[in-house]
Structure 1
């Protein structure tokens, strides 16, 4: 016999395979012949007898030989404790035994595949689970479970919390665990529903099993969902997790949870160095949060620390939260520092009280500084409604301040606020003027900054004890405020202004050139400081009332002045017109006729008891024809115009002495012309009025002589 013959080895191989196949057929035939399905059903039915559960096989039970021996079982029901209602159902189960232990008479389950597993888990009010008894050690009889491979397909886990009636379902569950006897690997996929939106879940990790403890050493999990306003969002979890199934507890180290989205671009990471968990609570001594979100030109940043955190059925609680938060839009930025206990009730209602808050506003609108506020109070809100409520009181740059504000929405927030400020001097934050002196408001040529309105949606009420802007001063300001990208409006405006009172409204419409609408009623107000601070005009003094209804358009206060149109009516009492003393000039006629001609003298003034006028404004020029000035000694009437653009005056007045005080001046009318710059006008006799109606030069000269002669002869004794 030739042992190196190829044909010989071929025969040996063929005969050996035939013999092995014959042996396997015989073994399988014996197994099927000896297999007792009824006995298997009875044995399975008694497996959970100590837990007062029944196991019922409603389908077929078939033995399996190749490649591994075992059983295929269809439609298994596991009841709830004490009754026949199914708590767990299985559509199909495949259990495989290891060959080597089987040769020594031991039945060791090494592979398990479950299809269509459905488990109902109930958390009772005492925090116990309805399936907790299934994790207890029990005698498995002639079988020993020592899995090397586990498969779950199309499974479902239904969870109900009886205390909160919170219901969630983990469906489309797929699980693959390989190498469970050594360095194992676990991968899981599922769909979680029952909340506001479904979550797609996936998990991968190395796996180590030691007695009752399972260690996930490099956990990598992800949850994805469509979040309103954020598009598709993703939650990633990384870290180390240990699960103890006997005690139903878990511990973890270096856990990082990262929430991210692409539209808008965001990323927030919660880091937990160590934690412990049970079905009652999750606790950690420290957690930190950092992240940012960008939406258009709006940018959020957050860095926070949470001490002694506890999560239970009531919600999330931290002994202390200290954080830095910022909100920036374009070149505007608000920085917030918060320090307070933190509570999230039912994972929905936020509570932070007592709250310590420091706010800082940084903006090009305040080139010389920044607004800094330090306040104490409380913050609450509801996440489901995207709402936050803040109630604080403290100081704004040393001035008393109180704020109540509600925010609706996080990506495009809308605010309702009530603000009270003791004193606000805006000059501290505006650009310095060249001569370090505040200018009159309507002489300011700097553009009015309105780009900050692009990102504001605010309504509410504001109260300011004292407000300064330029040389303008207002006290006891109250108003209803509306600020949107389209407009800035102050309605129901009320203020104490220059020892008087103001009521009305101001509305600024944003267009290529903003439009201003101003409606005001003034009462018992000192006119001189008002005109000085608004227009740098100081020639008129008195106390009185008025109504303003004007419109203007422009990008600066100077442009608004130059385009003013509308009506202004005023009535003054106990005042004076600076620059000329009409009474003295009348007394000294005719020898002092020269007093009627010349520049204004700031040391002279004409006092009056009443002065009234109504002006029509059009494109920065005010005209009126009903000016009336009355005093005990002199009466004045006339009209003219004020050019606010050029800052010039052109008025024609008729001056009459009171005949009861100056009997010798009875019938004397002095036509007076006031022209020139508003701040330094020229007063002169109105010779044009004296020669009115005369055509030739000689006629005008004769008429002028006759008028002067008449005035003088009337005055002379």
Structure 2
């Protein structure tokens, strides 16, 4: 027994001594650089990439066994372009696995890692092959393929053998050894495939990393499809044990620098990561990613993403739990936002497209901020939704949007309830929209409900029975409010890329129909048709109260001529010019449609049988074939606009009642008659003041058998004539300085032509023919629309005589032209008789005898006694003529 025990102990000692000696010999003779070529060969055969280890692989024994390497690089697939490089790396290696062709790494420390990641036009990354399924590289070991690989038999297995070859072949690889058999090409047996697989398995170097410590890393990113260009620098990564299909901790930090889009942001994050490239499954549990800095147009004070995320590419499954996303910062660019705060939370969100399943629990979205025009506040809540091929159900979904401007508040509420159907065909019992717009004392409210359907795979559905009403509350409206109901439908087909809608409404007891068709919805082309029996905009937009007319002021003596004291022009409202016009939306609009309205009323204007065609595309809009019956005549013409705020109008009104038209449009009652008005004007500007300053074109007026109200020219000329005759007695009749709407001058024709050039109007023609009078324009004859100033010479000539009710004989003025100078602010001009230009001996003598001074003194006395009622109200002949001409010009 003792002998046996001694032999066993001796044998153990011998084995231990042999093992120690063997290990010592292995450590002393092991050359890690012998693996360089093997590693390079494995990488090239498997991935078609060139691995270059320029530095020596060094072995260290203390304080632990490890390998260190310098200057390592890896190329892109089938290219010499650099994909990644490492300045230095150190591996802590387990020794025994090396003897069995396995590399088990306890720890990896990397410094100076750099990578260049690209995505091509087809969306493929230059590292996809590194994460793809393992492929057998047939040309990896020719000797293994040659041994037992060649067969020449025909038979039923031929197709299966070829399929095996196809599966075994890497992309772009060619067989190294094969047998040609007739015209059938190359064929391999299952034995050859097994040999190839075994050969490759013998070259596999299994890697297991216990931890990674990466410092001073840099990753360059370039997306060919979008043009995005940027990099992550100063990257530091620390991980736990890294193995495929097992979770490990990852902590990283770095800085994101971008050129397109511009970026400069610090990032840091932690997560428990698990990935399996072969099965294309990836997950990040306990994710906590934080970013601060500039990200494109967003300058983020903080951007945080937390939660658990899992993605299965094969199953097309996204599973998210405890998701929390928060962003705070400011947005620059064409649509700036100040004080942006947005958040998204979802305790559970699961999207399984392979099984057509969706599950949402307590999803909540919030966003608020301020743009230059308004502040916004958005909220959306989905308490519980479940959609599957078997059924769809869920609790009501709510969403609200609030837009606040200095002068208005817009609120929109969206509700969805009664979810039903299944994953292929979703239904809603009720889709409800409520909206309100508050502007000063005006409140507009919209309420609409409808059942809804949506075919998920057909990508078609809509609102089959829309029902609702619009209510307007405004103290200026008759009765204080206005309401009209509507019904309709809306259908969309995203496969055919079209949308159609039809609305029927009742406005003030009349029917309205609106149809819309849209195609190419990403860049929509829209066609519409509006038909209405009666459309009264005043029921929705009340007419503002009329402003009182400016009153004239007494004349004053100046320079020996009768002259009215100059009146200051009324200052324009502070709102004038503050209104803005922006037609830039026309650049993105493709719109065409028709209008047909039986009766139309807008403010005081009224028309019937209104029709027009509208076309807007390529930044231009035109209202063509405009036709309407109004004021006993017709309107035809064309309106134009473009995205640069250039507006134009070419209109002809024929046979219209000019008096009624001017009364309703300009609230003027100084001209009556029937005639034709032609307008051809254009302008450009972003405000009403700018449009007025750029007004260019022409206006023509032709009126027949009418009257100028406010003055009787024959009567006022008789008063002037009487004043001339009584100049020596000093008994001049009283002359009123107000327009008397009880007087009028009848005429048989009135023709006026006005030329406009950048806000300056020139009266090129003014001819008025009355039974005994002729009126023409003189020089100057201009109106400054921009500064509200006018300077107009008017020539009045008597061509016949008669005795009126006062039996004044005007024979001495027959054939005499009396020029009048009208100048000053257009709302209150001054008027002067150009006495020196009158070719009449009698008037010349009266002037030499002091007629002008006597008239001026009389005007001054009247001004001082203006608080006492005049014995006989008479119109000032000079001012009356001026006011009449002003009325003709629409001033």
Determine the C-alpha separation between the residues in 1 that align with 2:600 and 2:572.
18
- Are the equivalent residues in 2 in contact too, given 1:393–1:401 (CA < 8 A)? yes
TM-fit CA distance, 1:455: 8.2
Q: CA deviation at 1:416?
A: 4.9
Which structure 2 residues correspond to residues 495-574 of structure 1 after superposition, within 5 A? Answer: 495-507=628-640, 516-552=647-683, 564-574=695-705
Q: Could you say which residue in structure 2 is the equivalent of 1:288?
A: 397
Q: Pick from 336, 344, 349 the counterpart of residue 454 of structure 2.
A: 344
Greater RCO, CA 8 A, separation 6+: 2
- Rounded to whole Å, the distance in 1 between the matches of 2:320 and 2:578 is 54
- Name the CA distance, whole Å, in 2 between partners of 1:653 and 1:669: 10
Deviations 1:54-82 (A, max 9, x none): xxxxxxxxxxxxxxxxxxxx99xxxxxxx
Residue in structure 2 matching 1:404, options 502, 515, 518: 515
Query: CA 1:405–1:293 in structure 2 vs 1: closer, same or farther (change >3 Å)?
Result: farther
SS of structure 2 residue aligned to 1:271: strand
Q: Secondary structure at the match of 2:743?
A: strand
Distance 1:234 1:665 in 2: 91
CA offsets 1:151-186 (integer angstroms, 9 cap, x no match): 995566xxxxxxxxxxxxxxx246999xxxxxxxx9
After TM superposition, give the deviation of residue 310 of structure 1 in Å.
0.5
Q: CA deviation at 1:393?
A: 1.7
Q: Note the alpha carbon deviations across 1:172-204, whole angstroms, 9 max, x for none.
A: 246999xxxxxxxx98531269xxxxx6x4436
Partner residue, 1:671: 817
SS of the residue 1:627 aligns to:
strand
- Bigger strand fraction: 1
Quote the residue 1:606 is aligned against. 745
SS of the residue corresponding to residue 602 of structure 1 reads: coil
Q: Distance in 2 between matches of 1:372 and 1:415?
A: 28
**1:494 & 1:250 partners in 2: Cα distance?**
55
Q: CA deviation at 1:627?
A: 1.1
Provide the residue aligned with 1:634 in structure 2. Answer: 772
Deviations 1:639-685 (A, max 9, x none): 244746347864213332399xxxx9799424244565989999998
Structure 1: how far apart are the matches of 2:358 and 2:834?
A: 98
Contact 2:469 2:484 (C-alpha < 8 Å) held by counterparts: yes
CA drift at 1:394: 1.2
- Sort the Cα spacing of 1:679 and 1:627 in 2 relative to 1 into closer, same or farther, 3 A: farther
Q: CA deviation at 1:465?
A: 5.1
Q: Per-residue displacement from partner, 1:13-36 (whole Å, max 9, x unpaired)? A: x99xx9xxxxxxxxxxxxxxxxxx
Partner of 1:447 in structure 2?
576
- How far is the alpha carbon of 1:607 from its aligned partner? 2.3
Q: Using a 3 Å threshold, how does the CA distance of structure 1 residues 597 and 452 change in structure 2: closer, same or farther?
A: closer
CA distance in 2, matches of 1:467, 1:272: 48
Mean CA deviation greater in 544-553 or 353-362? 353-362
- 1:424 matched to 2:523? The reply is no
**CA drift at 1:473:** 4.4
Moved more, 664-673 or 491-500: 664-673
1:304 aligns with 2:421: no
For residues 547 and 270 of structure 1, the distance between their equivalents in structure 2, rounded to whole angstroms, comes to 58
RMSD (CA atoms): 6.6
**Taking structure 1 as reference, are residues 675 and 370 closer, same or farther at Cα in structure 2, changes over 3 Å only?**
farther
In structure 2, relative to structure 1, the CA distance for the partners of 1:647 and 1:411 (3 Å cut) is farther
Q: By how many angstroms is 1:304 displaced?
A: 1.8
Pair 262,587 (structure 1): closer, same or farther in 2 beyond 3 Å: closer
Instruction: Provide the secondary structure at the position in 1 that maps to 2:660.
Output: helix
Show the counterpart of 1:625.
765
Q: 1:274 to 1:426 in 2, by over 3 A?
A: closer
Q: Give 1:342 shift.
A: 1.0
| Matching residue of 1:122 | none
Q: What TM-score comes out, normalization by structure 2 length?
A: 0.42
The reply to whether residue 394 of structure 1 matches residue 505 of structure 2 is yes
TM-score (norm 1): 0.50
1:691 correspondence with 2:807: no
Which residue in 2 is equivalent to 1:320? 430
Deviations 1:303-333 (A, max 9, x none): 22231510254x222333334468999xx99
Contact 1:542 1:572 in 2 (8 A): yes
CA distance in 2, matches of 1:510, 1:271: 41
Match in the other structure for 1:651 = 794
Q: Supply the distance in 2 between the matched residues of 1:616 and 1:414 (Cα, whole angstroms).
A: 39
Q: CA deviation at 1:378?
A: 0.4
Contact conserved, 2:777 with 2:794, CA < 8 A, in 1?
A: yes
- Counterpart of 1:616 in structure 2 is 755
CA distance in 2: counterparts of 1:431 and 1:528, whole angstroms: 20
Task: Give the Cα separation in 2 of the matches to 1:498 and 1:452.
Answer: 30
Distance (Å, rounded) in 1 between the aligned partners of 2:691 and 2:323: 63
**CA deviation after TM superposition for structure 1 residue 603, in Å:** 2.5
Query: Structure 2: how far apart are the matches of 1:343 and 1:238?
Result: 28
User: Following TM superposition, by how much is the alpha carbon of 1:391 offset from its aligned partner in structure 2, in angstroms?
Assistant: 1.5
In the alignment, which residue of structure 1 is the partner of 2:730?
none
